Chains A and B, each alone.
Chain A
């Protein structure tokens, strides 16, 4: 197996060809299309008041949803791995729900819950707007990106075992000290990877946010919604420009993690 150079090359060509067709060409096309008429038009689109507002709103989603899901995710992973309970499989299945359910459905469920005839309609009646405003969009973003930190942290926690934590406790550390000095440093790369995935997911979230936000330009429009609106209005250059900004944000997140890791390893 593997000694035959023809089959090895065949596999390589197949793998790279698949990636090129499905990922690389579309991304290169966007890049090309964005700057087809120079840097002016896409820049105008992004720096328009609506564009800038969409960028800010997207970053706001990240700044709120990512820390909350990180704290929740680590706590939940600790619960699942370190506290054996009969309820764990149920909790585990519930955490996977956002993966299993289409974001549009998630958006609709929030709509039903907070809408005029929903259980939490009283919030709106008392002046606390959830739908068609930022709180609803934050809820949707948290919902769709909830599983990542848990999923990335659980296997790492299982792998490190409990010996180091027990050693710390015999040396006099209480639960809190053990968590900060032993557990968290040991699982940090699992958590970091979970944060990167969560960030990417929140940046790109479209389906659930579309429904709860109403996509009002300059008010409840995140970058992906802005892209869609531009595209629908035949401003494809603006759509491509905003798409490129989204892609760059995701790349920066990945790059930042790699940089931190490299610094650590050095």
Chain B
């Protein structure tokens, strides 16, 4: 496992080099002053001062709207798949970890999803360890951590002056090798500084008990707490859209004249239409069933199917819920 370092003052040089071979996404302010994972054109000023992005990077492998087929003269054709490579710099550990959940759905199934597979195989992920978690963060409770390199090709830690870079995969090794002239070997002192920083970042997070959640949720299926917990839910779908592991989608046709496309679009199990049958029957008719489904899918069904929680503790659903619903509270209340 290669460990290298680069002075932070050389970050722009590093990113410029990466831009020669790939489309690079990195943290930069948008027009409103919010730090987003921006497609770099070279004009942006990249910053390492951010907690996490409001939007998870899942759209870069599972776009919010994606063409599945093109229609021409009433015939369906495969669209041309996007070419080229992307490098995602500055993704937080929780979001990189979430990519493995998406991989489970789109790559490890039979059949593979060719659209996801193309974007995913073209993406190289450079994770940036967290120094300061938010009050809504709970990654350490769901198997991750502020310095977790799972799902990353390279894990970066921002030290006082340097950026420490550690290869996590062979793709990451190759990337660091290609940048060798910009990098120097990591010193033991730098490695120690990184470890201490990560440990300090773990401390403020309040643990949420998820061990054995699958079994406890099985017992809690009929709990009256679901009704109480979902009473405030507006069914707006913000939680799903911001969630880095939520991946449910709709497929619709958009056609004008004889030409158009079949497109997949993010969808959400909190929406009443999600399961509505053509007959009018709805298997999950009220927010209670729909809210329960979302929690059950992440903390029970995914565990039963893939032995993996479909929650990475990023806390977006907590931070951005307009009704202040907090899945940590609900997990506690239902005894999960």
Do A and B come from the same complex? Answer: no
